[in-house]
Amino acid sequence: MPAPWEIRSVRWRDLPALRQAFAEAFADYTDYIYSTPEQLLRVGGALLRKFFARVKDDLCRRASCLAIDPENPGRVIGAASLAPANGAVRRLPENATQLQPVFVVPGWRRRGVATALVSEVLGRLWNAGQEVLISGCSDYNVVSKRWHLAFGVTEERRYYARRPLFYWARNELWRRAYLQKTRGIPFEPLDRAKLERWFMALADELDTLEREEPWFDQRQASSESQRVS
């Protein structure tokens, strides 16, 4: 059965419809929860300007795709756009591309649109000789994480995706201690010990993940040169 939507390359004249779809798709997104619709339009506009600033035959532009409502050819229902990822890659292969971002408007979700978009993007990258597509997702963005895992990604834990969990755990320790003190709700020693053990393990994990980030050596080098001078 053919898909009930059209997938095609992104064109300059799609900009207004893409910006509108971006604002709709990210309205319920964890990172933008306090943004107004106008702010989301601006965020989407800035991202798209960067995208269209690339030359027309740049691979990121050629391989990016959008999906169109079959009953309304002017309406974008989702997109998978690309940006170079070299700066974010530490291990080989150095020449990789990243999804930035993939999104589908709420009324079209769970019908396979994102899967179809990213499959098409992967096919185009493969035909152009690229074997790696990177996509970032925070641990707390459950929907996005589930989509990525269902798509079959190889998960690699990175510093920025795990760091919010550390702050959540720290807050939870404070919250439980506060509830015990002010409301008499017991924070059982065993529960406390378990949470603290997890918190310490998370701190160690973050130290390791931070050292693996591409920017870590540069930051160390610049703070050492400041100490010397």
Binding interface with ligand COA (CB under 6 A): 25-26, 29, 101-104, 109-115, 137, 141, 143-144, 146-147, 150
By beta-carbon proximity to ligand COA, the closer residue of 89 and 173 is 89
Q: How far apart are CA 75 and CA 71, in angstroms?
A: 9
Residue with Cβ nearer ligand COA (63 or 105): 105
Amino acid identity for residue 43 in this structure: V
CB 121 within 8 A of CB 63: yes
- Which residue's CB is nearer to ligand COA, number 26 or number 51? 26
| 65/114 with CB nearer ligand COA | 114
- Smallest separation, CB 26 to ligand COA (Å): 6
Min separation Cβ 122 and ligand COA, Å: 13
Cβ nearer to ligand COA, comparing 34 with 226: 34
In the three-class reduction of DSSP (H, G, I as helix; E, B as strand; rest coil), residue 85 is classed as coil
CB of 71 to ligand COA, least distance (A): 18
Q: Do 134 and 98 meet the contact criterion of CB atoms below 8 Å apart?
A: yes
**With b meaning 16 or more CB within 10 Å and e meaning fewer, what string describes 167-202?**
eebeeeeeebeeeeeeeeeeeeeeeeeebeeebeeb
- Cα(84)–Cα(75) distance, integer angstroms: 27
CA 197 to chain centre: 29
Smallest separation, CB 66 to ligand COA (Å): 13
Please state the closest distance from residue 2 (CB atom) to ligand COA, in A: 16
Please report, as a single letter, which amino acid is at residue 49. R
Compare residues 130 and 141 and give the one whose CB is closer to ligand COA: 141
Chain centroid, CA 151 distance in Å: 14
> What minimum distance in Å lies between the beta carbon of 111 and ligand COA?
5
